[in-house]
């Protein structure tokens, strides 16, 4: 077994053979030649993947562009539970019947219960409702803006036709519009 202490060397370095000296010079020269040499990560592959992910999510994300809402308040139970004035007369709601009569957006039938002109389309429905609303600057009004209006679709009425009827009443500035159970 070699004694480690005997390997210690003090004093001038021992002579190296010429080949070893050349290797040592080359190594020392390499270290001095590029003083700013650092370890670098190759980020190219990661950036490629990150961009692919970004493009995927940009394409796959479906924003709800153009979605809007009709606010429809539910009946206020606090008022419902309050004592009612026995002399108050219930207002008879204006009932609008809507039915889908075939495939297609323009295949529908509308009718208003009561002695009112019958509309052919939702624009006419809007005009009839608007004309019969009590307003300061117009005569011939029958209904207050908060007069109850009931949209009465059938079981097979398409949702878009029910919504169109609702929209006609909302456009005419009625504030108490509800949907009835299907007939």
Partner 1 sequence: MSSIHKRGNAEVNANLTPMIDVTFLLIVFFVLVSQIVEVESVSMDLPEPIDPMTQKAGEDQRAVINIVPALERGRIEGYRLGTRLFPPGPDGIEALTNQLQTLFEANPTLAINLRADRITHYQYVEPALQAVTDAASRVESADVKARINLVIIRPEGVVHD
Alpha-carbon gap, residue 181 to 44, rounded angstroms: 62
Query: Cβ of residue 116: shortest distance to partner 1, in angstroms?
Result: 21
Distance CA 14, CA 84 (A): 115
113 binds partner 1 (CB under 8 A): no
Q: Please say which residue, 19 or 68, places its beta carbon nearer to partner 1.
A: 68
Asked whether 167 and 159 are in contact (CB, 8 A), the reply is no
Please count the CA atoms within 13 angstroms of the CA of 106 that sit on its side-chain side.
2
Q: Is the CB of residue 153 less than 8 Å from the CB of residue 161?
A: yes
3 state DSSP class of 56: helix
Closer to partner 1 by CB, 9 or 32: give it. 32
Helices 159-171 and 122-131 pack at an angle, to 10 degrees, of 30
Among 61, 79, 137, 139, binds partner 1 (CB under 8 A): 61
Compare residues 3 and 73 and give the one whose CB is closer to partner 1. Answer: 73
Is residue 171 at the binding interface for partner 1, with CB under 8 A as the rule?
yes
CB 154 within 8 A of CB 99: yes
Counting contacts by CB under 8 A, is residue 71 touching partner 1? yes
Out of 8, 63, 82, 83, name the contact with partner 1 by CB under 8 A: 63
145 lines the binding site for partner 1 (CB under 8 A) = no
Range in contact with partner 1 (rule: CB under 8 A) among 2-10, 40-48, 106-114, 134-142: 40-48
Cβ atoms within 10 Å, residue 157: 21
User: Does 48 interact with partner 1 (rule: CB under 8 A)?
Assistant: no
Q: Is 58 in the site for partner 1 (CB under 8 A)?
A: yes
Token couple for 37: 């040499």
Interaction site with partner 1 (CB under 8 A) = 43, 46-47, 50-51, 53-54, 57-58, 60-64, 66-78, 122-123, 153-160, 162-164, 166-167, 170-171, 179, 181-182
């Amino acid at each position: 077994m070699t004694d480690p202490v005997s390997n210690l060397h003090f004093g001038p370095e021992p002579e190296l053979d010429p080949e070893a000296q050349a290797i040592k010079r080359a190594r020392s020269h390499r270290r001095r030649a590029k003083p700013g040499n650092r370890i670098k990560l190759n980020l190219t592959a990661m950036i490629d993947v990150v961009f692919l992910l970004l493009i995927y999510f940009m394409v796959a994300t479906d924003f709800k562009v153009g979605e809007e809402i009709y606010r429809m308040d539910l009946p206020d139970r606090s008022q419902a539970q309050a004592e009612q004035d026995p002399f108050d007369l219930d207002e008879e709601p204006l009932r609008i019947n809507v039915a889908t009569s075939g495939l297609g957006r323009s295949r529908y039938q509308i009718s208003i219960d009561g002695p009112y002109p019958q509309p052919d389309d939702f624009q006419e429905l809007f005009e009839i409702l608007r004309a019969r609303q009590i307003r300061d600057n117009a005569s011939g009004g029958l209904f207050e803006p908060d007069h109850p209006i009931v949209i009465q679709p059938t079981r097979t009425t398409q949702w878009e036709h029910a919504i169109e009827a609702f929209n006609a009443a909302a456009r005419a500035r009625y504030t108490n519009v509800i949907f009835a159970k299907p007939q």
